[in-house]
Structure 1
Amino acid sequence: MTDSIEESKNVSVTDEDLETKSKGELIKLAGQLRDRRNDLNQMASERASQRDDLNAKTREKVDEAQEHREKRDELNEQVQEHKEKRNELNAEANELFEQVEDKKEEMELDEGKSVDQLEDEIEDLEFKQQTEVLSSEDEQELIEKIEQKREKLAERKEKLEQTDDIDEIKAEAQEIRSEASKHHQKVTELADEAQEHHNEMIEAYREADEIRDEADEMHEKFVEAQEAADQHHEDFVRVQKRLRELDKEEEEEERSRREEKQEAAREEAEEIYQEFKDGETLDTEDLMKLQKTGLL
C-alpha cells in the first residue's frame, strides 16, 4: 500500500508572504508550488489508477461469487429433483414389497415347515415303518402320521407353485429400489458439488470484501493527495495573482516615470522655444529637443 504524503515536502504560503516577499522570492515560491502540485497530481493519478484496478478486481471477485451462487442453486435444484424421484421410487417399491408380504401372509408361506423339512420327516417315518417291529395299533398310527405329512407336503408344494407372481412383484420392487438408489447416489454427488460451489462463493465474497477495503483505503489516499494538490494549486494561483499585481505596479511606475520625463522634456523644450522666439540662436541639440516635442 502506498505511504502517506510526506508533509515535509509540502509548500505553503501566507498572506504575509504575499505582502512582504520580493518579486524574485515570489517567482521562486511559485515554482516550488507548481512543482509540488504536479508531483501531488501525479501521486493522486497513480492512486486513482490503483484504486480503479482494485475496484475492477472486486467486481471480478463478486462476479465469480455470483457464478458460484448460480451454479450452486442450479445443482440444488437438481438435488431436489433427484430427491423427489428417489422418494417416489422408494414409495413405489415399498408398496410392492407390502404386496409381497400380504400375498405371503395370505398363502401362509412364512408359517409351517419347509418342503425339505417335511420330506426329511416323511423319510424318517417311512424308515421307521420299514425297520422297526410295531404293533398293529402303532403301525396304523405311524401310517396316518405319514399320510398327514404327505398331505402337508403336497399342500406346501401347491402353494409354492403359486409364488411365481410373488417373485415377479418382488423382482419389480427390487428393480425399482435399485433405480431409487441411483437417484440417491446422484443426490449425494450433486449435493457435494453444490457445497463446493457454496464454499467457493463464500471465499470469493470474502476476497472481494478484502480487496474492497484496500480500494477504499486507496481512495482515501487519492483524496488526500488530490486535496493537497488542489491546495498547492490554489496557493500557486494566489502567488501568480500577486506577481501580476507587482507587474502591474511596476508598469504603472514605469509609465509614471516616462510621463514625468516627457513632461520635463516638454517644459525644457518650451523654454528653448521661447528663447528661439526671443531671437536667440539654437544649437543642434536644442533643435532636436524641439522636434521631439513637436514644437518645431
Structure 2
Amino acid sequence: MVDSIDQSKNVELTEDDLENKSKGELIKLAGQLRDRRNELNQMASERASDRDDLNAKTREKVDEAQEHREERDELNEKVQEHKESRNDLNAEANELFDKVEQLKNEMELDEGKSIEELESEIEDLEFKQQTEVLSSEDERELIEKIEEKRDKLASKKEKLDQTEDLDGLKEEAEEVRSEASQHHQKVTELADEAQKHHNEMIEAYREADDIRDEADEMHEKFVEAQEAADQHHEDFVRVQKRLRELDKKEEAEERSAREEKQEAAREEAEEIYQKFKEGETLDTEDLMKLQKAGKL
C-alpha cells in the first residue's frame, strides 16, 4: 500500500507572492518549487514503474489462466470422446448380453431330462421291445415312445452343440463391457484433471483481479504525484517569468539612471565650458570633467 503524497511538503504560490515578494525571496521560492517538482517527478516515475510491473504481473496471471482454460477445454473434449465411446460400447454390450439371455431361453438346457437319462430310457425301451412279446398295439405305443425320446435326445444334443456359440457370445459381451469400463475410467481420470485445471484457472483469474486492483491504485497514486509535480512546474515557470520581468525592470531603471547621470554630467560640463570661455580659471577636477565630456 503506497501512501498519498505528503501535502505539507508541497510549496504554495499565490498571486500576492508574485506581486509583492522581493527578487531574493522569489529566487528562493523558485528553488523550492524546482526541488519539490523534481522530488514529485521522481516519485511519479517510481509509481509508474511499480504500476507497469503490476500490470505485467496481471498479464502473466491472465496468460496463466488462459493456459489452464485451454488445457481444461482440451481435456473436456477428450472426456466427451471417451463418454461417447463408453456409451456406444455399453449399448453394444447390452445388446450382446440380451442375445445371450435370449439364446439361453431358447435353448432351455435346464428343462426336462438330461441326455444321459434320455439315452438310458431309450436303451431300456429298446431292450423291452427286443425281449418281450408285445401285442401289436403295445409294440406300436412302445415304438412311438422310443421315437419321441429319440427326438427329444436329438434336440437336446443340438442345443448342447449351440452352447459353444453361447459361450463365445458371452465372452464377446464381457470383452466389450470391459472395454467400456476402460473408457469410463479414462472419463473419470480426465474429468478430475480438467476440474483441477478449472480450479487453477479460477485462482489465476482471482489473483489477476487482485493485482489489477493494486495496479489501478498505483496508477491513481502516480496521477496524484504527477499532477502535483506539474503544478509545481507551472508555478516554477510563473516565478521564473516574474523574475525575468523584475530583471527587465531593473535593467530599465539602471539604464534610465545612467542616462540621467550622463545628462547631468553633460549639463555640468557645458556650464564649466562656458566659464572656461569666459576666462575663468578652472581647477583640475573641472578640466577632467571637460575632458571626459569631450570639450577639450
Question: TM-score range, shorter-chain basis?
Answer: 0.7 to 0.9
SS of the aligned residue for 2:30 comes to helix
SS of the aligned residue for 2:4 comes to coil
What residue identity is the alignment partner of 2:247?
A: D
The reply to whether residue 253 of structure 1 matches residue 249 of structure 2 is no
The Cα of 1:38 is off from its aligned counterpart by: 1.3
Q: 1:94 to 1:114 in 2, by over 3 A?
A: farther
SS of the aligned residue for 2:2 comes to coil
Q: Which residue pairs with 1:239 in the alignment? A: 239
Equivalent pair of 1:59/1:208 in contact (CA under 8 Å) = yes
The reply to whether residue 170 of structure 1 matches residue 166 of structure 2 is no
Q: Which residue pairs with 2:111 in the alignment? A: 112
SS of the aligned residue for 1:112 comes to coil
TM-score with structure 2 setting the length: 0.83
- Describe the superposition over 1:249-293 as per-residue Cα deviations: whole angstroms up to 9, x where unpaired: 111111111111111111111222223333345444334323333
Distance across 1 between alignment mates of 2:18 and 2:177: 95
Q: Which residue pairs with 1:289 in the alignment? A: 289
Q: Which runs of 5+ in 2 are unaligned?
A: 125-144
SS of the aligned residue for 1:95 comes to helix
The reply to whether residue 42 of structure 1 matches residue 72 of structure 2 is no
SS of the aligned residue for 2:295 comes to coil
Equivalent pair of 1:115/1:157 in contact (CA under 8 Å) = no
Distance across 1 between alignment mates of 2:275 and 2:240: 52
The Cα of 1:28 is off from its aligned counterpart by: 1.4
The Cα of 1:161 is off from its aligned counterpart by: 2.2
Distance across 2 between alignment mates of 1:293 and 1:172: 136
- Describe the superposition over 1:116-160 as per-residue Cα deviations: whole angstroms up to 9, x where unpaired: 9x76xx89xx9xxxxxxxxxxxxxxxxxx9x99998677545422
The Cα of 1:234 is off from its aligned counterpart by: 1.3
TM-score with structure 1 setting the length: 0.83
Q: 1:114 to 1:5 in 2, by over 3 A?
A: farther
Q: Which residue pairs with 2:279 in the alignment? A: 279
Alignment of 1:89-238 (within 5 A): 89-109=89-109, 111-112=110-111, 115=114, 155-238=155-238
Distance across 2 between alignment mates of 1:114 and 1:246: 135
Percent identity over the alignment is 82
RMSD of equivalent CA atoms? 2.7
Distance across 1 between alignment mates of 2:188 and 2:285: 119
Distance across 2 between alignment mates of 1:202 and 1:264: 92
- Describe the superposition over 1:177-213 as per-residue Cα deviations: whole angstroms up to 9, x where unpaired: 1111111111110010000000000000001001111
Distance across 2 between alignment mates of 1:114 and 1:26: 129
- Aligned residues, how many? 273
Q: Which residue pairs with 1:16 in the alignment? A: 16
